[in-house]
A and B are shown apart, each in its own frame.
Chain A
Amino acid sequence: MPTVSSQDVLALAPVAILALGGIALLLSEVFLTSGKRGYQAFLTVLFAATAGLTAFGATPGKVFAGQATADAFSAFVTITVSFGLALAALVSASWLDARGAERGEFYALSLFAASGMSLLGMASDLLVAFVAIEIMSLSTYALAAWMRRGKKPAEAAFKYFILGAFSSALLLYGTSLVFGATGSTLLSDVARGPLQAGGSALLSAGLVLVAAGLAFKVAAVPFHVWTPDVYEGAPTPVTAFMAAGVKTAAFAILARTVLAAYAATGGAADSAFPRVLAVLALLTMLVGNLFAVPQRSVKRMLAYSSIAHAGYLLLGVLAAGLPAVRERALSGVLFYLASYTASAIGAFAVVGALESNGQPGDEPADAWDLERLAGLSRRRPLLAFAMTVFMLSLAGVPPTAGFVAKLLVFQAAVGAQYLALAVVGVLTSALGAYYYLRVVVYMYMRPAAEGEPAGVTSPVLSVALAVAVAAVVVLGIGSEPVASLARAAAAVVR
């Protein structure tokens, strides 16, 4: 019988801190004496920062008999998630306060979701991964339903819940098949292949179902249909957190699972797995970018762009299959996730600041129309500048973080001989530049419509935007420290 040591418990400290933070925020509502809730966002930031620092100092090693792994990889994921949580909490504080909807439960659910994401970064067992995914998803379903003004939020939450539950079922079914074939849910055992001859068909079927379940979570085409509606209907700060955090955590477990799947199905050379993944990456890059082009709603455009970015990330995961470029590819993916976290949360924050206050029943069809951004550079020069930085980063224009991230991932893809896919990636990025820069054109070159409101900003939102802009620029110009961290993190994953 395995015994639990203090090392086991200490390694999970970041997860525990985030979960305890959620409980603290819940209790803060109980002891509330006034209507002032401004401190709740700061408490959330504090817990996120503590969790990130704890992850940084954790002793590496396998814990709980290999069911979870505390290493540089999980630390990187936890830090990225905590950073995203802190940014999203600040953005939420401003957005919710303007609508009189700020409550401790909102931050509690965000913290619970982040604890699930952090655990997902550590999970090296399919069952633990499933439980972590459930923590993350159930919290985000509820967050998506936080505001019910108008029809879209309800539809978003419901769609997200139904399709999320369906993908979890796929994942669980796949896990049971994998367990049947290998007699274990540990990824290290799964990597050894089937227990007995003839079990490989069962293992492949199980792994395909697991991969499909995870593809739902990262919104890869053809498992992406829920994304635009959910991202558009959910409260904007929640969308920001979903886009950044869920993507980071889901890609972490996807990378670990795919590496195990490569090993289990006969090595990267003759496994059929890379081909499946290559098709997914290709479709995701194409569909995400092509569907983003005609969108008039900036929020919906960002949703499709999030699908497109999942495609580039899948390309990185695909390249990681080759041992020679594994370290480069995985470090590229990690860097990409960090840069996407800063850019996407920043972009959604600007979108959230510009949308109408949304009185009950007041849900204009053009709430996020491009026209709302017209002339922003004259009304709100700093807001327009911040949005420009985020758009450039998402488009992958130097000297922003998005450029370095794309460069690292495409380099790895070329190194792994996926030349055609890398070319498609570059071409679709060029297509992406069109719809990202259109936003910039509207902000700087179109006159504002009459009576267009200036948007809601607050000191906390300014801080969040400043931090996000700084992160995007610093990751773009002085990318080396973070890139070397990502390399160190990628080096430990086998």
Chain B
Amino acid sequence: MNRTFSKLALWAFLALLVALFLGYFITRVLPDYLPAGRAVPPRLGDLVFYACAAATVAGAAGVAFSRNIVWSCIGLLIALLGTAALYVFLSADFLAVAQLLVYIGGVLVLILFAVMLTNRIGEVNVSNQSLGLGGGLAVFAAVAPLLMLVAVLVPWPVRPPGPMAPTTARIGDEFLSTWLLPFEVASVVLLATLVGAVVMARKELKAD
């Protein structure tokens, strides 16, 4: 009884999300493309952008809502690919490729390996029931309208996309001049992470 109810609530919530998105799309985005509202016909690039954005959101939802970790991984793949595509739209070529190499080529493959090598990971038994669907919905209801409101209200500075030019050299320059401090300190982060990972993966300590 309880289970069916929570399933129903989940689906109602998803339906609400889709309805909200559609409502936003129809009232805010679509008028710009209708013949009356806009002199120029919709560009192909805009449509591709929305497709990529929708894929990203759908992928992210898949990560969150799938109960099977392999499907979550596939969802993550779609979300990360969509983000990489969004970087391309912002003429951030280096970032897009780094996203592909690091996240999809590295992190995602690592996760899949971890899933393969781990026993019985499919049967997830959620032990912490204290903050289930109800709590999540409450937090969502508190935060999401706020962020949506901000997204709609704020007059975003709109700029035409920059020319597709290589950005790698500029990023390198910035790293070694303006952002030298965080860039160098990030090496300590990596070192601490490596040592920490080894500490966690080692066998239980015994006196030697």
Using A147-B205, A360-B204 as known contacts, say yes or no to A128 and B199 having CB atoms under 8 A apart: no
Residues A139 and B192 in contact, CB atoms below 8 Å apart:
yes
Range, interface on chain A? 35 or more
Residues A19 and B188 in contact, CB atoms below 8 Å apart:
yes
Residues A138 and B180 in contact, CB atoms below 8 Å apart:
no
Using A67-B182, A196-B157, A205-B146 as known contacts, say yes or no to A103 and B205 having CB atoms under 8 A apart: yes
Residues B185 and A135 in contact, CB atoms below 8 Å apart:
yes
**A103 CA to B204 CA in the complex, in Å?**
12
Residues A135 and B205 in contact, CB atoms below 8 Å apart:
no
Of A109-117, A254-262, A324-332, the one with at least 4 CB within 8 A of chain B: A109-117
User: Does A131 sit at the interface, judged by CB under 8 A?
Assistant: yes
Residues A127 and B150 in contact, CB atoms below 8 Å apart:
no
Q: Which one of A4, A148, A157 contacts B204 once the chains associate, using CB atoms below 8 Å?
A: A148
Chain A neighbourhood of B178, CB < 8 A: 1-2, 65
Q: Is the interface of A mostly helix, strand, loop or mixed?
A: helix
Q: Which one of B157, B181, B195 contacts A142 once the chains associate, using CB atoms below 8 Å?
A: B195
The closest CB in chain A to the CB of B147 belongs to: A205
The closest CB in chain A to the CB of B174 belongs to: A1
User: Does B186 sit at the interface, judged by CB under 8 A?
Assistant: yes
User: Does A35 sit at the interface, judged by CB under 8 A?
Assistant: yes
**A199 CA to B196 CA in the complex, in Å?**
41
**A157 CA to B156 CA in the complex, in Å?**
41
User: Does A26 sit at the interface, judged by CB under 8 A?
Assistant: yes
Residues A128 and B208 in contact, CB atoms below 8 Å apart:
no
Chain B neighbourhood of A67, CB < 8 A: 181-182
Residues A105 and B181 in contact, CB atoms below 8 Å apart:
no
Shortest Cβ gap from A268 to chain B (Å): 23
Shortest Cβ gap from B121 to chain A (Å): 14
Q: Which parts of B164-191 form the interface with A (CB within 8 Å)?
A: 173, 177-182, 185-186, 188-189, 191
User: Does A459 sit at the interface, judged by CB under 8 A?
Assistant: no
User: Does B47 sit at the interface, judged by CB under 8 A?
Assistant: no
Using A67-B182, A205-B150 as known contacts, say yes or no to A1 and B177 having CB atoms under 8 A apart: yes
B residues at A contact (CB < 8 Å): 146-147, 149-150, 153-157, 173, 177-182, 185-186, 188-189, 191-193, 195-200, 204-208
In addition to A141-B196, A157-B200, A181-B154, 8 A-B residue pairs with Cβ atoms within 8 Å of each other are A1-B177, A64-B181, A112-B188, A112-B195, A127-B182, A138-B193, A138-B196, A142-B195
